[in-house]
Amino acid sequence: MAQLDATIVNVSLPDLVATLHAPFSHIQWVVSGYLLALALTLPLNGWLVSRLGGRAVYLWCFGAFTLTSGLCALAWSAPSLIVFRLLQGMAGGLLAPMAQMTVARVAGRQMPRVASAMTAPVLLAPLLGPVVAGAILSVASWRWIFLLNVPVGLAAFALAVLFLPDDRHDERFRPLDLTGLGFLAPALVSFLYGMDHVARPYGQATLGASLVLFVLYVRSARRKGDDALIDLRLLRAPAFSVSAIIMFLTNGVSFAGQMLLPIWLIHACGVSPERTGLFMAPLGLGMMCVYPLIGRLSDRFDARDLTGCGALISLVGTVILVVLAYSGLNVALLSIALLLRGGGGGAVGIPAMSAGYASIARTDIPMATTALNIMQRIGGPTLITACATFLGWRLATVAPSHVVSEAYAETFALLALFHGVLLLATRFIRPSEKKRQFGSN
């Protein structure tokens, strides 16, 4: 539900402008505010689990998300809708890490297999958001976009009550690190906001403030050790540190590519927006073909080899994009490139995440989940901004006759460089002490 709601509202923005009688500059906060709120509650994940237990936090998240979805549907003005969306995002921000933590606790060595089975809905939800919204708006008002969450949320709440085990006895109570929360939560929100508006002075100032807050948090966390909001000593485990870096880079190259491709197709190749969506379909197809196989592949191959192979395949796909930007659009080659990028990227994240979880104690999983989710979420805006800034600079400096052949190709080359860094990072995953033989169960 949280992933679906990140994109489902986009299609309804024109209707919201008309029915709520508010300018688009205000209404866009229905989307932006939700995305920022998703990051706001992430640092609280570990403490809430230690205080209430994973099952209780999960139930509270489902209940709060369902309730705030209903409130969004009842909103009477733009400010009220924005406030309810902020509350909805704060509840939704914990749904994904709580699901990830719950799976990590029960899956054990089967983590790659279980994670690959549960990834399809998470991948499909953002893709289906605009489609579902369009279908709803063709027969009903925008309010039904939010009401859709109510029966789904109630069903999820009932299933969680019936099937999730009570884990309060597994938790060690941690005091709430208010100082760390005061540094880390606004640091995350201001970082994401600043990266999204880095071209403007206030965005740069916000980004600078976020970096100061991050430094202050690191100093505070190192002093508090195990009592910190996120125990930075987890990063002393090389496998976990490498996993966090890979999650950052994997999310970053994925989102940066999804940002660059439509711009290149529409503005440099003259492809219509409708056809652009069709041209990008192989990207999702590649992911969907690989994810169900990750469990079996992880049984047969070492995590370092599997992630390295996936990173190499996605790098090859990106190099093809560099060639296409120089030579001109070829739909067949573009489809191959996107299949390689989607499939290769799909083979990196889950094995790397599983290797990171395998390197820490079970009691540290809630805190590790928070750290991995934070690294994953800041990877996207960081590399998006890097590529977008570079593209804007090259478009402003190269001769008009060479814009397509140089500016876009060089920006894809920068993206390929980030893929190369990702490939290098996968080589630092520690090989399994005992590799499984091909064909073993």
Residues 105, 214 within the same domain? no
**Residues of the domain holding 212:** 178-228
State the DSSP string of 44-73: GHHHHHHHH-HHHHHHHHHHHHHHHHHHHH
User: Using one digit for the tens of pLDDT, what is the confidence trace for 131-174?
Assistant: 677 777 778 888 888 888 899 889 988 988 888 877 666 656 66
pLDDT value at residue 108: 67
Is residue 213 domain-resident? yes
Q: At 88, which CATH number? A: 1.20.1250.20
Query: What span, in angstroms and rounded, lies between the C-alpha atoms of 196 and 380?
Result: 10
Residue 10: pLDDT above 70?
Answer: no
Residues 243, 210 within the same domain? no
The token pair at 367 is 């805190």
Which range, of 121-130, 205-214, 263-272, 412-421, averages the lowest pLDDT? 121-130
Residues 64, 117 within the same domain? yes
Place of tokens 């630092």: 428
Last residue of a domain, one of 174, 208, 241: 174
DSSP 234: G
Residues 138, 259 within the same domain? no
Residues 338, 281 within the same domain? yes
Query: What span, in angstroms and rounded, lies between the C-alpha atoms of 283 and 439?
Result: 29
Query: What span, in angstroms and rounded, lies between the C-alpha atoms of 153 and 140?
Result: 20
**How many independent structural domains does the chain possess?**
3
pLDDT value at residue 117: 66
Main-chain phi, psi angles of 35, to 5 degrees: -65, -40
Enumerate the H helices of 303-348 as residue ranges. 303-327, 331-346
User: Using one digit for the tens of pLDDT, what is the confidence trace for 30-39?
Assistant: 777 777 777 7
Residues 126, 197 within the same domain? no
Residues 20, 119 within the same domain? yes
Is residue 166 domain-resident? yes
Residues 216, 292 within the same domain? no
Taking Cα atoms as reference points, which of 225, 249, 343 lies closest to residue 289?
343
Query: In terms of C-beta density within 10 A (0-12 exposed, 13-18 middle, 19 or more buried), how is residue 127 classed?
Result: middle
Query: Confidence class of residue 68 from pLDDT cuts 50, 70 and 90?
Result: very high
Is residue 432 domain-resident? no
Residues 271, 202 within the same domain? no
Cα Rg of the chain (Å, integer): 22
**How many CB atoms sit inside 10 A of residue 377's CB?**
23
User: Using one digit for the tens of pLDDT, what is the confidence trace for 38-55?
Assistant: 777 777 777 787 777 778
**For residues 104 and 369, is the Cβ–Cβ distance under 8 A?**
yes
Taking Cα atoms as reference points, which of 41, 54, 40 lies closest to residue 164?
54
Query: What span, in angstroms and rounded, lies between the C-alpha atoms of 238 and 394?
Result: 38
Q: Is the pTM of this model over 0.85?
A: no
The token pair at 260 is 């660059």
User: Using one digit for the tens of pLDDT, what is the confidence trace for 297-341?
Assistant: 877 888 888 999 999 999 999 999 999 998 888 999 999 999 999
Last residue of a domain, one of 213, 228, 243: 228
Residues 288, 245 within the same domain? yes
Residues 39, 105 within the same domain? yes
pLDDT value at residue 437: 43
